[in-house]
Chain A
Amino acid sequence: MKVLVLGGSGYIGSRLCAMLADSTWVSAVSGSRRATASASTVRVDSTDAASMKRALRGMDAVVNCVAGSAPAIAQGAHVLVQAANEVGCQRIVHLSTMSVYGAFEGEAHEDTPRDPSIGWYAKAKCDAEDAIAAFATHGGSVVMLRPGCVWGPGSELWVGRIGRLLHARRLGDLGAAGDGWSNLVSVDDVCAAIVASLGMEARGAPLVYNLAAPDSPRWNDYFVDLALAIGATPVRRLSPRQLQFDARLASPALKLAQIALTKARRGSRHLPDPLPPGLLGVFERQLHLRGDRARQALGWRCTPYTEVLRSAATWFMSNDPVRTGAAQRTLQVPPT
């Protein structure tokens, strides 16, 4: 099966392509905006219909891992569906997100109503889902995956950034503000679910699966576990006041500085990470993403949390040699 991986240079896409390189039944082509064309890569602008059609020609399936701006996500999905129809590509595996459940709290199953009201990202992802779902009603095969927070070695969002904020004592134990479920799912497990989805036949209506590790903890537990593993100790207890100050005052300034430096073509790597208010919303939201359906239908199994934690912490420290010394002195505290 010939598969185009859109967003192939991203965190999930690149990992998927690496995994598929060893596959006996799938040959993958990585498509991204910045790629230079080769046997296994193709340059594609997901908002441009012609470029999309060229990339899709001859493909049996496409995996949509496109991230980025709202147009790239929402409009990109429309362009993809249209191009797939035109070139006769019959199969889409679309990577959505748990953000489509919006402000919902409680146990989120696949039939929980969606809520696009909490920001541009949720809105764009809901739009993208709708576009892709229409492909299924026209006879295409669609599997939609809604992962929680995708982490593991190399995850800037959920390991790199969190680790730096822990070292800066801007994250720690947040009390009720960090009591939400993390819904972490490892990048390798997401890729395994994508591969399993490629083998699913889904005519008529899209198949939808949540992806979250059943043993993923609440955010506070993750913060403490990661802090201990990378030597960001003693863990600090933060008050809602401090968090709000950081998110509402410091973070906008940092974000602006980041944008300015990027525009001026200077690296913004050494800038502290912003802690946007939306992220605080994620930390306190009591949304428990249930992945039971994927486990039953796809035979999907997750890597144990502690194992992913270990490899993620190792990656963090190898990227941050200054801290390695400190971390080696960390204590082996028994896990709970």
Chain B
Amino acid sequence: MISDANDVGQGALLRADLCIVGGGAAGISLALALTGQGLDIILLESGRLKPHAPTQSLYDGEVSDPKLHSPPDKYRQRRLGGSTTIWGGRCMPFDAIDFESRSYLPHSGWPISLEDLLPFYPEANRLAEAGRFAYEAKAALGADAPPMLRGFRSEVVSTDGLERFSCPTDFGARYARRLRVARDVRVLLGANCTRLELDADSRRIGEVEATTLAGRRFAIAARAVVLAAGGLETARLLLASRDVAHAGIGNEHDVVGRYYMCHIAGNVGTLEIGGDTSGVRHGYEMSPEGIYCRRRIAVRGSEQRRLGLANAVARLHFPRITDPRHGSGVLSGLFLARPFISYEYAKRVNDGTHGSLPLYANHLWNVLTDPLDTAAFLGHWIARRTLAQRKFPSVILRNRSNRFSLELHGEQMPHADSRVSLTDKLDALGMPQLRVNWRYARADIESLRRTLDVIAQEVERSGIGRLSYDGGTLEEDLMRFGAYGGHHIGTTRMGSDPRSSVVDANCRVHSVGNLYIAGSSVFPTSSQANPTLTLIALSLRLGRHLTQRLSPRPVAVPDEVAA
């Protein structure tokens, strides 16, 4: 059921088998996985179904360098559904290599492998409404699906992989009815977790304190607690609960909040492909289940290992939007529409280029001289995106020239100095605010440089075209927008050694017997992949662990099916 936290009695103590803090992709997936298992579950959600400015401003905080990282209240939504209410919907699983301990990549290695997550990915895919769990072009699109680049064959670089797109599904709106119907799940809206109270021996969480903006305060005593509040907020909650453990919960070895990673991303270079444009698949294709899919270029795992590269992918992209020399009415139209696009989506259109009158005039000229393409694009956009339930994922231009830039999305290496910490400023509920000090390293850029070199070499070798890029501006190109927004990874990393990690292979905080974490903050490394699908899969895996651990009776015998 779903109810309002302001209806809970002042000072009440609620009891449950499990308390989940946070109703986003992780918390909702976990609650849905656990319903029907004979457990009493309370899910605390700070927000409600609609955005609410005072609730959202509980995310206010500082960033050390505004050029490198967006403000902490951006790319995050404090409401039921969490940041899935604004996400782009890109889904893909992690690769096997992501879980490996790689000697050339310090602090890499998970205590679990891809095999441990594979059983949960199909259901994660289903929850994200991204269709079947098929991420190879032929498996997803059919054995006769044409290649991404006609004539390209390489043992080093793969073009068979693809990414799939969620609607993008807002988990709050999509699954509210399931939560409402579930008699064993009690969702409390407007309930902010303001403290995790450790028992005196500091081995388990005794109570979770919840506070509403209207001043209602109560507590939940649960056999187990799962923090699913997002990659930044979960660290903040642990660090702020310091009345018993002075450095914060789970922070005996100063790991909480450190190793903060996003992704290294940007548009670079020029890829020119010979032959006619029909030989290139640069945009979206639809799978039989009606899911938008897009091809991607990646250096194969074996080659990454051999060459010592971090994981990365490249997509075929269009030229820089802000530079009117592209001559595209569509891109110029986007540039002119900047003021009407939300912060999160306008960011990569606002690349620091200041709008001058001649610049606007040049863009306007592009729109006026390219009216057919611009109108066709607008029509397509309104029909397939604005009005559609399953939204066309992003702007794709007609391929007229076989010339592209590469849109890179690379793994960021873990560094202890890239971190979030608490400031002295308090939010409206008295919680210390967060300071984000995101840093990248030269090695991150160099790995992408070598990745580009490998792709360029293979493109040339196969004779289909040529990839060139300006090595001198690579770092600037990749850092133009700073950290890739919304991917909050690593702040409570998973590992087997409590001195260098916060949670164990079951996502349990090493030093606290009944405290678990769901979400991308437990990823020890960031992969090339966007984090959502994997954090859902990991939440479902946590669900199985909690069922086994908390179940009041032998795990409910599933209905049998005759063989």
- Chain A contacts to B: CB under 8 angstroms: 105-107, 172-173, 175-176, 179, 213-215, 221, 224, 227-228, 233-239, 284, 286, 290-292, 295, 301-305, 330-331, 333-336
Is B132 part of the contact surface with A, judged by Cβ < 8 Å?
A: yes
Tell me the B262-301 residues at the A interface (CB within 8 Å): 286-290
Q: How far is the CA of A305 from the CA of B559 in the complex (A)?
A: 13
Known: A107-B36, A175-B389, A237-B390. Contact between A228 and B289, CB under 8 A?
Answer: yes
> How far apart are B543's CB and chain A's nearest CB, in angstroms?
17
> How far apart are A147's CB and chain B's nearest CB, in angstroms?
15
Q: How far is the CA of A239 from the CA of B141 in the complex (A)?
A: 24
Q: What does DSSP make chain B's interface, helix, strand, loop or mixed?
A: loop
Q: Which of A215, A221, A234 contacts B286 (CB 8 A)?
A: A234
Which of chain B's residues have a CB closer than 8 A to the CB of A175?
129, 167, 174, 389
CB-based contact A334/B181 at 8 Å:
no
Known: A333-B140, A333-B288, A334-B132. Contact between A286 and B561, CB under 8 A?
Answer: no
Complex: chain B residue closest to A173, CB-CB: B290
Is B123 part of the contact surface with A, judged by Cβ < 8 Å?
A: yes
Known: A176-B174, A239-B389, A295-B560. Contact between A234 and B290, CB under 8 A?
Answer: yes
Q: How far is the CA of A253 from the CA of B413 in the complex (A)?
A: 62
Q: How far is the CA of A233 from the CA of B558 in the complex (A)?
A: 33
CB-based contact B389/A333 at 8 Å:
no
Having A175-B129, A239-B388, A334-B132, one finds 15 other A-B pairs with CB under 8 Å, namely A106-B181, A107-B36, A176-B174, A176-B175, A214-B558, A214-B559, A224-B289, A234-B287, A237-B390, A238-B389, A301-B560, A333-B287, A333-B288, A336-B123, A336-B126
Which of chain B's residues have a CB closer than 8 A to the CB of A238?
389
Which of chain B's residues have a CB closer than 8 A to the CB of A227?
288-289
> How far apart are B63's CB and chain A's nearest CB, in angstroms?
36
Which of chain A's residues have a CB closer than 8 A to the CB of B143?
331
Which of chain A's residues have a CB closer than 8 A to the CB of B289?
173, 224, 227-228, 233-235, 333
CB-based contact A301/B562 at 8 Å:
yes
Q: How far is the CA of A107 from the CA of B181 in the complex (A)?
A: 9
Contact with A along B128-162 (1 / 0, CB 8 A): 01011110000111110000000000000000000
Which of chain B's residues have a CB closer than 8 A to the CB of A286?
177-178, 181
Which of chain A's residues have a CB closer than 8 A to the CB of B111?
none
CB-based contact B290/A176 at 8 Å:
no
> How far apart are B387's CB and chain A's nearest CB, in angstroms?
8
Complex: chain A residue closest to B390, CB-CB: A237
CB-based contact A237/B181 at 8 Å:
no
Q: List 23 A-B contacts (CB under 8 A).
A: A105-B181, A173-B289, A175-B167, A175-B389, A176-B175, A214-B558, A214-B561, A215-B559, A221-B126, A233-B288, A233-B290, A234-B286, A235-B289, A236-B290, A237-B290, A237-B389, A237-B390, A238-B389, A304-B563, A331-B141, A333-B140, A333-B288, A334-B132
Which of chain A's residues have a CB closer than 8 A to the CB of B560?
214, 295, 301
CB-based contact B129/A173 at 8 Å:
yes
CB-based contact A336/B290 at 8 Å:
no
CB-based contact B126/A295 at 8 Å:
no
Which of chain B's residues have a CB closer than 8 A to the CB of A233?
288-290
Complex: chain A residue closest to B562, CB-CB: A301
Q: How far is the CA of A336 from the CA of B141 in the complex (A)?
A: 16
Q: How far is the CA of A315 from the CA of B388 in the complex (A)?
A: 33
Which of chain B's residues have a CB closer than 8 A to the CB of A291?
559
Which of chain A's residues have a CB closer than 8 A to the CB of B287?
234, 333
Which of chain A's residues have a CB closer than 8 A to the CB of B129?
173, 175
Which of chain B's residues have a CB closer than 8 A to the CB of A228?
288-289
Is B122 part of the contact surface with A, judged by Cβ < 8 Å?
A: yes
> How far apart are B538's CB and chain A's nearest CB, in angstroms?
18
Q: Which of A173, A213, A290 contacts B561 (CB 8 A)?
A: A213
Please list the 6 inter-chain residue pairs (A to B) with the smallest Cβ-Cβ separation, ordered nearest first.
Answer: A214-B559, A301-B562, A237-B390, A233-B288, A235-B290, A331-B142
Is B125 part of the contact surface with A, judged by Cβ < 8 Å?
A: yes
Q: How far is the CA of A228 from the CA of B183 in the complex (A)?
A: 34
Is B173 part of the contact surface with A, judged by Cβ < 8 Å?
A: yes
Which of chain A's residues have a CB closer than 8 A to the CB of B178?
179, 286
CB-based contact B173/A215 at 8 Å:
no
Q: How far is the CA of A250 from the CA of B390 in the complex (A)?
A: 23
Q: How far is the CA of A154 from the CA of B559 in the complex (A)?
A: 26
Q: How far is the CA of A331 from the CA of B131 in the complex (A)?
A: 14
Known: A173-B290, A333-B140, A336-B132. Contact between A215 and B561, CB under 8 A?
Answer: yes
Q: How far is the CA of A172 from the CA of B390 in the complex (A)?
A: 12
Q: Which of A213, A237, A331 contacts B388 (CB 8 A)?
A: A237
Which of chain A's residues have a CB closer than 8 A to the CB of B141?
331
CB-based contact A237/B561 at 8 Å:
no
Contact with A along B380-408 (1 / 0, CB 8 A): 00000001111000000000000000000
Q: How far is the CA of A304 from the CA of B142 in the complex (A)?
A: 26
Which of chain A's residues have a CB closer than 8 A to the CB of B36?
107
CB-based contact A334/B133 at 8 Å:
yes
Q: How far is the CA of A233 from the CA of B142 in the complex (A)?
A: 12
Which of chain B's residues have a CB closer than 8 A to the CB of A221?
126
Q: How far is the CA of A88 from the CA of B122 in the complex (A)?
A: 56
CB-based contact A176/B288 at 8 Å:
no
Which of chain B's residues have a CB closer than 8 A to the CB of A305?
561
CB-based contact A333/B134 at 8 Å:
yes
CB-based contact B139/A334 at 8 Å:
yes
Q: Which of A173, A176, A330, A333 contacts B177 (CB 8 A)?
A: A176
Tell me the B502-550 residues at the A interface (CB within 8 Å): none
Q: How far is the CA of A22 from the CA of B383 in the complex (A)?
A: 57
Which of chain A's residues have a CB closer than 8 A to the CB of B173?
176
CB-based contact A302/B140 at 8 Å:
no
CB-based contact B288/A235 at 8 Å:
yes
Q: How far is the CA of A284 from the CA of B131 in the complex (A)?
A: 19
Which of chain B's residues have a CB closer than 8 A to the CB of A224?
131, 289
> How far apart are B165's CB and chain A's nearest CB, in angstroms?
11
